[in-house]
Each structure stands twice: as structure tokens, then as C-alpha cells.
Structure 1
Amino acid sequence: MAELSFANPFDRLGVAIKRLLPKSLFGRALIIIVAPVLLSQSILSFIFIDRHWELVTRRICYLVAGDIAYVVAELDLKPDADNTAIFRLARQTMELTVDYRPGARLPAPGEVQYPILERVLRTELTRVVGLPVVIDAMSVPDQVNMAFDLGGGVLQVTVPLRRITTSTNELLFFWMVGLSVLLLTVAILFLRNQVRPIVRLTEAAEAFGKGQRADDFKPSGAREVRRAAAAFIAMRQRIERHLRQRTEMLAGISHDLRTPITRMKLRLAMMPGGDDQAELAQDVAELERMIEEFLAFARGQEGEQPSEFDIAALIAEIAEDANAGQRQTPVEIAESAPLIVTLRRQAVKRCLVNLVDNAQRHARHVIITLAASTRWIEISVEDDGPGIPEKQREDAFRPFVRLDEARSPLDGGVGLGLAIARDVARSHGGDIFLETSRIGGLRARLRLPV
């Protein structure tokens, strides 16, 4: 139990970090580049401020404090004393503007403008000069005023700000920030160029998965990305060659089988009527139907290119044809707005016709519903029939599998309807799911990408 109590916070922290991390490869790679740079710059900045800047500032302030201590040591504090010479010497050689005010008192401390500088300067003045001091860096721009309590008066000393600061601080900060920005810009541009071939490969794979052609795709980028792109092109060519060979072979089979079937039908038409003739005609019709469904399943969507059409209008057309057909099961469609998609229209129609026909065959009422999101469209065909047990739903997609063995092929089909429908859905990058219907039977949910 103790281990679980310690593990849960780490699990929650891991989940939170995953949510904050970007999902794209470019974003994650950018973090890998930016994070070390920011970390190193932060560490260098801390070391610079804590060590270099304060050390240099302390040494400069020590020199200024030494000059002021010299002036204080040479200052004559008698009422009638003339300190003009020492004041002139301090201004000419030390860049110090000095004025002694007998009887004055130290002013109240003001606001701090340069925390590090004033702190270091105060420390050095206290250590070297050894007098109470008030520092004012805000009253006069680019100057620092210092007031020292000499007991009988106040010594006012003004020093230029550049006298106690160094330009190497700004220069070092400029190079640190400037180089960081420059290197990050170059890294981002280079990284974007490296990620772009991966994005193009992903788009080509998605287009091929949806049945769209991507002939303009060419390998580019790093060696590993080029190898992946070349492997994808080779795989696509093998799949297209396999489909083309399958279609050509089945076209020959279709031609070879249709001729003897046609001769059989002609001979049956010339035979006298009877039970044998009717049974034989039924067998020939069954054989012809099996061949047509098998060819439709094997041929798939070869030759049809994706085009734009209104999927809601297609559903209405399928429902109208189903209600006007031989089956007595009514088909109802839920109201939906027009929705333009880019798919193989005839293939999608064949898929939906198979789903609707399968539902009509086993139910008394069928409902078709269309729903859409930013990535998918979902078409649900629901019925109030007996449904399919959950353990057998995947078997229903296998070719030539009829779950109800008591049905004849003329009534229950040859077991290719759902197989053809799933073949169409997956060739578009989607799928079909069999679920329990809201009206008590089976729901076939067709999901297609948009």
C-alpha cells in the first residue's frame, strides 16, 4: 500500500507532463534543442551575475572608495580652511566632484535603483572610508551622489555612473542573448527542413490509405527518412501491382465463366418446363449471383478516383432505392444537413447498399443516421432484428461466412456483403464496427475519414 501511495503522485505528474508536451515531432524536437540552451544560459547568467559582475563591480568600487578615502584624509576641516586645491585635484584626476558642507546632516536614504551596484559600493565605502554614507543614484541621471557624515558636516561626493560600472557587462549579456537567438533561429529553420520530409511522407501515406494517388511524392531529407520514403514507395508499388494483377485475373475469370453460364441459361430457356428445369434454373441463378458478388468483392474500387459529392444526398438515394425494392422492410433516414466529402462515390454506395440490404433481410425496420466531426464521418445502419452475438460479430466479416446456416443463398446471400463493405471502408482509411442497436437489433457503424 505504501508503494502505491508513493507511485500515484509520480503517475499523475507523468500524465500532466505528457499533456503539456507538444504532440508534433517538430514541437518535441524544438523542446529538445531549446531546453538545454535555456538551461545553460540560465546557469551561465547566474554564475555571471553572482561571480563575474559582482567581482568586477567590487574592484571598481574599491578603487573609487580608495580615492574618496584619500580626499577625506587630505581634507582640512577647520572653519576657515581652503580645500579648493584638493577639490580641484579630485575633479581633474579622479573624476570626483567634492563639496564640504559644514554643519549639514545626512539626508534620508532614497529608493534603490541599482541593487547590486549600490550594495557593493556601500560595502566597499564602509570598509575603506569607514564613515556613515547615504547613496543616491536616482536624483541625477548617469551620476551617483554620496554623502558622508564627517561629524561637523557632510562631505558631498558625486561620481559619474560610468566610473563605477563596466561596459563588459552589457557586452557580455548582448553576446549571450544575441548568440542564443541566432543559434536558435538557425536550429529552428534547420529542424523545420528536417521535419518537412517526414510530414510529406505522412501525408502521402494517409492519401494512399484513403485511396488517393500521391504520384508527386519523392524521397527527401535525411538518410533514414529517405529510406523510409523509398520503402513506402516500394510497398505502394507492390500493393498496386497486386491489385492490378488481381483485377486482370478476375476479369479473365469473369469472361471465361460468363460464356458457359450464358449457354446454360439459353439451354434452360429451350427446355420444357418442369420441376427439374426450375431447380436447375435456380442453381444457375445462384451460381451467377455468387460469381457477381465474388467479382465485386475481389475487384474492389479499382479504377474509380475520389471525387466530391454530398454524402447526405447519397444516403437519401440509397434509402429511396431500398424502399422501392422488393424487400418490404422500410428504411428511415435521420434528418441531416448536406455534407460534402471527397471519397469514391460508387464504392461508398456499394458499401452502404450492402449494409442496408443486410439489415432489411433480417429486420422489420431500418434507420440510417449520419454524424460528422472534424476528422471523421460516421454512418450508422440500425435495425430491430435478432442481431449478432458479440462473439460472432468479427466472423460476420469473413468472406462466404453465413452465420444463419438455415438460410438459403437466395434468401440470405452468399456471405460477401459485410466483407465487401469492410473492404470498401478500409480502402478509404476507415472501418466498420458491429454493435448493439438502440432499437434492439444490430448497428453497423461505418467510419470514414474526411
Structure 2
Amino acid sequence: MTEPSPIKPTHSPAGKPMGPIRSALRTIRLTIKSGLPKTLFGRALMIIVMPLILLQIVSAWVFYDRHWDTVTWRLSASVAGDIANTIDQLRRTPDARDEIFQSVRQNMELDITLLQGEILPNQETEISSQLDRLLAQAMNERVRRPFIIDSSSFRKQLILQIQLKDAVLNVVVPGSRLFSSTTYIFILWMVGTSLVLFAVASIFMRNQVRPIRRLARAVESFGKGREPEQDFKAEGALEVRQAANAFNLMSERIRRQIRQRTDMLSGVSHDLRTPLTRMKLQLAMLGDSPETQELSVNVSEMEKMIQDYLTFARGEGGEKSIECDLSEVVKDLAATWQASGIALDCHAEGKIVTWLKPNAFRRCIDNLIANASRYGSQVWLQAGKRGNAIEILVDDNGPGIPEQEREDAFRPFYRLDRSRNPSTGGTGLGLSISRDVARTHGGEILLETSPHGGLRARVRLPI
């Protein structure tokens, strides 16, 4: 009869974790590679979570390396020593087998039975867990006999079968002798404290990020022309308060500059209109003659030019933004041009409620329609939402503008018509005023080729 060889312990996935630091670094690298969160709150949480995860992995490694291995090895060695002592007693006093088994059952909590004439299968058994590996190592060192381990229900009990000379010793070991509950207690405390710390950190970071979000909304609102009635209140961390104070100072300087410019231009407008009014009165007193009529036309053109220049420089800075229906504004403007005899086709896609400076916006679209009607016989006006923006399209069937000159067309006093005749080329301020108004609303104007063959002016406003 050949006896089975002792079990050779092998490592398995259920064994002690190998390279936890390397795994943690790999996880962090993959997270960074996949892309960090876009928001500040998400990035702040990542800054907190990643070290927390790394700390948990290091703690788990230290626990398994020191506590789990040490405690499990001592428990396994204790069971193996009790079994070796029982086998030694059976060898010395085989007649006292029942008394020995009774004593072992009472004092060592081992349920032992002897299977006469049984032989263990002559094959190696694969190790399935860290507990099996340590127990097999202890059995090889202390018992030195072939054995089989059945740990399928190790939390309740573990069965060991040891090959003796003419029998098999069947040992049922209770799970309490080999399984330490401190593992779950440690994991519970580790996960529980991590969740508590994560919740506290989330609340703290949310409170820190909230003033930044409020500042971002205030800056966005100010950039869209929705000037707040009072300064943004500085709250949060020192850096956030500094940014808020800088924003308040900047917005106050911009408002002061706009007020000063508007006041100055109001005075200039009054000073220029007074002599023009006297000139018109004097021309009216001179009577009707070809010379006076020509002078009257020149004075009227001068008055219109001055009005356009002042309108461009003033930029409608004093008007307040209100929430209104853009579709109604566009339709009213189209009706006015249609009533004047202009061939204009208008289409607005439903109700478009947004914040506008109505008079400034009307002037913006009015200038675009005037420019289109000056060079084309048909004008198309459309308004609708496109994604996260509002688009207003003004098309004509005129000659258009060469692509290389489209950006220059927005420059003040720039005219495609090289003559200085306002009746053919205008004053060169229409597109400049329109872009100025669009940018005041946080938007932009683009010039493109119209599908109707002429020029398309695309006005984009943020929602």
C-alpha cells in the first residue's frame, strides 16, 4: 500500500494580496488617464477620494500581512498541535481511544472519529484559500502525515482527514478555532469611517465650491449684459473672497466708465445739435432756392451721421436687460419693415423667452435688415433655438461680401462702397453697432454666404 504524499501548499487568488501598492497606483493612473471630472467639485472630491482609497489599500495590506497571517497561522498551528498530540496519545495508549476522544472533544473542541481500514486517495489537493495554505503548512510541520482538508464550510466547521497506519483519523474542527471575526470588524470600521469622512469632506467641499459657482453665475450674468443691482457678496475661502472683490471692483470700474462715456456723449450730442438747429432755422428763413435746398440736405445728412456716430459710441449702455419674448421682438420689427414696402419673409420658431435689452436688440437686427435690403431685393429673417444658443439669421439675395473682407466690414466707418455717399454706402457703422450690441448680450455675429446667393448674418445669443 502506498500512502498519499503530504499536501504541497500553492498560492491562489484567494490568498494574501500581492502588490497592493502597485494595484493602487495602477488604479490612480487609469483614473487620471480616463479623464478627471470637469467640475471643480468633482475634482476636489477626486483629490480627497484617491488618497483615501490609497490609504485603505495600504491599511488592508498591513492588516493582511501582519494581523491576518499572524492570527491565522497561530490558530492553524494550535489545531495542528492538538491533532499531533492526539495522534501521539493514540500511539502510546491505543486501548484508551474512547477516553482520549472524549477528552479532546471536551477540552480542545475537536470532534474526532477513527475510520478503520480507510485509505486516503493518492493525489494532491489544490489549496483554495489562505487559510488552507497556512493550515497545510502547520500540518506538514507538526503532524507529518498525509492529510486532506475540506474547508467548503470553514465558517461553521472544517474537516481534516489524516492517514494513520491502518485507519483514517477524521477530525471536525469548529470554525471558531480557525476563523477570526476581527477581519469583518476591521473592514466594517475601515469602510464605515471612510464613508463618514467622505460625507464630511463632501459637505465641506460643497460649501467651499458654492461661492465659486455663485461668482461664476454673477460673472456670466454681467458678461451677458444682465447687470446686477448690487455687488456680488464675497463669501467662502480667502482666494474666493479675493476673486469676488476683484470682480466687484472690475464691474464698478466698467459701470463708471460707461456712465462717464454716456454723460460725455450726451453733452456732445447737445452741443452739436444746438448749432445744427440754428443752421436749420436760418436756412428756413432764407426761403426756397436751389442753394438752400442743397444746404438743407447736407445739414440733414450731417445730423443723421452725428446721430449714428453717437449711437455707436454710446452702445445703448444705459438700457437695462429684461426678460422678454425674442420672437415677438423679431416679428414686430419684420412687420415694420414690411409696412415700409420691403420684401421680407419672417419665420420665428415658437416662443423664445430670454434676457434682452429690447431697444438695443431691435437696433442690432434693424441694422442687419437695413444692410440686407440695401443690397438685395428680398430679405429673409429667421429666429430659433439651436442647442444651447439662440440664432437669428438675416439673409438676402444681393451680391454678398467677399470672404476676405467680412471681418473688415465690422470695423467702424468701413464701407464696401468706396464712395463717401451715405445714400449708397451708409455711414459704415451699421454692422459695428450690431456687433457691439450682440457682444453686449454675450453673443456674436458671423457673416456667411447665404443659400439665397447673397450674404447671411448669423446672430448667436447664449440662452
- Which band: TM-score by shorter chain? 0.7 to 0.9
Map of 1:175 onto structure 2: 189
C-alpha separation between the residues in 2 aligned to 1:140 and 1:427? 74
Q: Could you tell me how far 1:115 is from its partner in structure 2? A: 2.0
Q: Does residue 1:403 correspond to 2:416, yes or no?
A: yes
Map of 1:61 onto structure 2: 76
Map of 1:297 onto structure 2: 312
C-alpha separation between the residues in 1 aligned to 2:122 and 2:286? 128
Give the counterpart letter for 2:185 in structure 1. Answer: L
Q: Could you tell me how far 1:358 is from its partner in structure 2? A: 0.8
Map of 1:230 onto structure 2: 245
Asked if 1 retains the 8 angstrom alpha-carbon contact of 2:145 and 2:164, the reply is: yes
Give the counterpart letter for 2:112 in structure 1. Answer: V
Q: Does residue 1:213 correspond to 2:227, yes or no?
A: yes
Structure 1 counterpart of 2:212, from 177, 182, 198: 198
Give the counterpart letter for 1:82 in structure 2. Answer: A
Give the counterpart letter for 1:178 in structure 2. Answer: G
Map of 1:89 onto structure 2: 103
Asked if 2 retains the 8 angstrom alpha-carbon contact of 1:61 and 1:120, the reply is: yes
Map of 2:11 onto structure 1: none
How big is each residue's C-alpha offset from its partner over 1:374-408, in whole Å with a ceiling of 9 and x where there is no partner? 42111111222222223322222222222312251
SS, match of residue 83 in structure 1: helix
The count of residues paired between Structure 1 and Structure 2 equals: 432
After TM superposition, list the pairs within 5 Å mapping 1:208-287 onto structure 2.
208-214=222-228, 215=230, 217-287=232-302
Give the counterpart letter for 1:389 in structure 2. Answer: P
Map of 2:158 onto structure 1: 144
Q: Could you tell me how far 1:335 is from its partner in structure 2? A: 5.5
C-alpha separation between the residues in 2 aligned to 1:132 and 1:181? 47
How big is each residue's C-alpha offset from its partner over 1:262-292, in whole Å with a ceiling of 9 and x where there is no partner? 2222222222212211111011111111122
Q: Could you tell me how far 1:88 is from its partner in structure 2? A: 2.9
Quick check: 27-36 or 241-250, which moved more? 27-36
Q: Does residue 1:381 correspond to 2:394, yes or no?
A: yes
How big is each residue's C-alpha offset from its partner over 1:76-103, in whole Å with a ceiling of 9 and x where there is no partner? 5988x23233223323332222222323
Asked if 1 retains the 8 angstrom alpha-carbon contact of 2:449 and 2:455, the reply is: yes
How has the CA–CA distance of structure 1 residues 114 and 162 changed in structure 2, closer, same or farther, with 3 Å as cutoff? farther
Give the counterpart letter for 1:35 in structure 2. Answer: M
Map of 1:321 onto structure 2: 336
The TM-score with structure 2 as length reference comes to: 0.85
How has the CA–CA distance of structure 1 residues 197 and 139 changed in structure 2, closer, same or farther, with 3 Å as cutoff? closer
Structure 2 counterpart of 1:392, from 394, 399, 405: 405
How big is each residue's C-alpha offset from its partner over 1:51-73, in whole Å with a ceiling of 9 and x where there is no partner? 54233312220121011100011
How big is each residue's C-alpha offset from its partner over 1:358-383, in whole Å with a ceiling of 9 and x where there is no partner? 11111122212223134211111122
C-alpha separation between the residues in 1 aligned to 2:287 and 2:118? 141
Quick check: 330-339 or 67-76, which moved more? 330-339
Map of 1:158 onto structure 2: 172
C-alpha separation between the residues in 1 aligned to 2:358 and 2:145? 94
Give the counterpart letter for 1:24 in structure 2. Answer: T
How big is each residue's C-alpha offset from its partner over 1:184-228, in whole Å with a ceiling of 9 and x where there is no partner? 222222222222221111111000011113325211222222111
Instruction: Name stretches of at least 5 consecutive residues in structure 2 with no aligned partner.
Output: 1-28
How big is each residue's C-alpha offset from its partner over 1:400-434, in whole Å with a ceiling of 9 and x where there is no partner? 22231225113432122111111111111111112
Map of 2:56 onto structure 1: 41
Map of 2:18 onto structure 1: none
How has the CA–CA distance of structure 1 residues 18 and 430 changed in structure 2, closer, same or farther, with 3 Å as cutoff? farther
How has the CA–CA distance of structure 1 residues 188 and 114 changed in structure 2, closer, same or farther, with 3 Å as cutoff? farther
Asked if 1 retains the 8 angstrom alpha-carbon contact of 2:348 and 2:384, the reply is: no
Say which structure, 1 or 2, has more relative contact order (CA 8 Å, 6+ apart).
Answer: 2
SS, match of residue 184 in structure 2: helix
Quick check: 308-317 or 344-353, which moved more? 308-317
Map of 2:322 onto structure 1: 307
Give the counterpart letter for 1:22 in structure 2. Answer: P
Give the counterpart letter for 2:351 in structure 1. Answer: P
How has the CA–CA distance of structure 1 residues 180 and 140 changed in structure 2, closer, same or farther, with 3 Å as cutoff? closer
Map of 2:435 onto structure 1: 422
How big is each residue's C-alpha offset from its partner over 1:91-141, in whole Å with a ceiling of 9 and x where there is no partner? 3332222222323455999x9997221232123223321223233344686
C-alpha separation between the residues in 1 aligned to 2:122 and 2:146? 12
